[in-house]
């Protein structure tokens, strides 16, 4: 998945659980990685008849459902668009309007915005079958907690400063959850002083210009957390806040391009100054 992953597991079956999670991650990479070839996603994108396992069908269905739920802000068929901008092969360039139009029309699958969160929830399924007390997984910046800390205090997860190597604050999370951040600092290039990042606005085929530099989502379901972090980044603060008010399954922290921080009332954010987003205003 072109990133670093770090797995810590406490408990009798820690070793075997880590090894099974490793196998599961390698299989997900093989099936869904952007490097196509003979992968499930590569064959889907070539229009081949692919016999999907029940789990693969479920993943695709859920991606479609998240696209619908977010009004298309999460769009798992932007592969050609990301490719045109060079984000898949690091050959960065600004494509012309015609190229973007064609790329949008091609509707090639790309699970990049949801697969790491999905990997988190699949890890939880593995851990559930084992003698394991607790675990902390960092799957390329997507954090998955499992169980409770030994001393009973909540997990503390740092939220990265989008414009520095430090953390702007910490979210406290009880038990098993996914904490996923989408940001304009994770993958980008600059040209003539303008930053072009990897999160695309499906309406335009250009990097989403929503006034945000990152969105963190805290949710019990990993894939939902991941898809929503990307979608909320595309929506921006105002639309994202309205979306949160209509929902009941996640909390979020928004960092604006000017550094201002907004957090929903259940996000458990501390260690910084921020505006609280409430159910009713």
Under rule CB under 5 A, residue 113 binds Mg ion? yes
| Span interacting with ligand AMP, options 18-26, 68-76, 164-172, 262-270, rule CB under 6 A | 68-76
Question: Shortest distance, CB of residue 138 to ligand AMP, whole angstroms?
Answer: 14
Which residue's CB is nearer to ligand AMP, number 145 or number 182?
182
| Span interacting with ligand AMP, options 54-62, 144-152, 194-202, 236-244, rule CB under 6 A | 194-202
Of 160, 213, 230, 264, the one binding Mg ion by CB under 5 A: 230
Which residue's CB is nearer to ligand AMP, number 40 or number 199?
199
| 116 neighbors 142 (Cβ within 8 angstroms) | yes
The alpha carbon torsion through 241, 247, 251, 253 (nearest 10 deg) reads -20
| 244 neighbors 215 (Cβ within 8 angstroms) | no
Under rule CB under 6 A, residue 224 binds ligand AMP? no
Of 176, 213, 229, 264, the one binding ligand AMP by CB under 6 A: 229
Q: What is the gyration radius of the CA atoms in the chain, in angstroms?
A: 19
Question: Shortest distance, CB of residue 131 to Mg ion, whole angstroms?
Answer: 32
Picking from 196, 32, 185, 206, the residue whose alpha carbon sits closest to that of residue 112 is 32
| 266 neighbors 252 (Cβ within 8 angstroms) | no
| 72 neighbors 148 (Cβ within 8 angstroms) | no
Under rule CB under 6 A, residue 178 binds ligand AMP? no
Under rule CB under 5 A, residue 178 binds Mg ion? no
Under rule CB under 6 A, residue 232 binds ligand AMP? no
Of 123, 145, 160, 182, the one binding ligand AMP by CB under 6 A: 182
Which residue's CB is nearer to ligand AMP, number 155 or number 233?
233
| 132 neighbors 146 (Cβ within 8 angstroms) | yes
Given ligand AMP, Mg ion, none, residue 221, with its beta carbon under 5 to 8 Å by kind, binds: none
| Span interacting with ligand AMP, options 118-126, 128-136, 156-164, 197-205, rule CB under 6 A | 197-205
DSSP assignment of 191-253, as one string?
ETTEEEES-B-TTTSSB--SSEEEEEEEESSHHHHHHHHHHHHHHHHHHHHHHHHT-SSEEEE
3-state class percentages of the chain: helix first, strand second, coil last, to nearest 5: 35, 25, 40
Under rule CB under 6 A, residue 108 binds ligand AMP? no
């Amino acid at each position: 998945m072109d990133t670093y992953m770090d797995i810590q597991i406490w408990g009798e079956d820690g070793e075997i659980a880590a090894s099974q999670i490793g196998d599961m991650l390698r299989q997900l990479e093989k099936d869904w990685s952007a490097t196509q070839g003979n992968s499930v996603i590569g064959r889907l994108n070539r229009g081949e008849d692919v016999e999907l396992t029940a789990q693969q069908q479920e993943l695709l269905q859920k991606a479609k459902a998240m696209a619908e739920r977010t009004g298309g802000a999460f769009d798992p068929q932007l592969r050609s668009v990301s490719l045109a901008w060079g984000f898949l092969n690091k050959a960065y360039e600004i494509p012309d309007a015609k190229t973007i139009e064609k790329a949008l029309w091609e509707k090639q699958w790309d699970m990049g915005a949801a697969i790491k969160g999905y990997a988190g929830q699949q890890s939880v399924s593995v851990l559930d079958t084992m003698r394991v007390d607790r675990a902390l997984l960092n799957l390329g910046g997507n954090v998955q907690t499992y169980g409770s800390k030994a001393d009973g205090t909540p997990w503390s997860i740092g939220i990265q400063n989008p414009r520095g190597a430090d953390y702007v604050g910490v979210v406290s999370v009880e038990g098993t959850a996914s904490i996923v951040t989408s940001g304009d600092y994770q993958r980008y290039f600059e040209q003539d002083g303008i930053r072009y990042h990897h999160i695309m606005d499906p309406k335009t085929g250009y990097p989403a210009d929503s006034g945000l530099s990152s969105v963190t989502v805290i949710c019990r379901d990993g894939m939902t957390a991941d898809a929503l972090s990307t979608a909320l980044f595309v929506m921006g603060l105002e639309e994202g806040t309205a979306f949160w008010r209509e929902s009941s399954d996640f909390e979020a922290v928004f960092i604006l391009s000017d550094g201002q921080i907004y957090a929903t009332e259940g996000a458990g954010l501390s260690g910084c100054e921020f505006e609280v987003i409430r159910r009713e205003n």
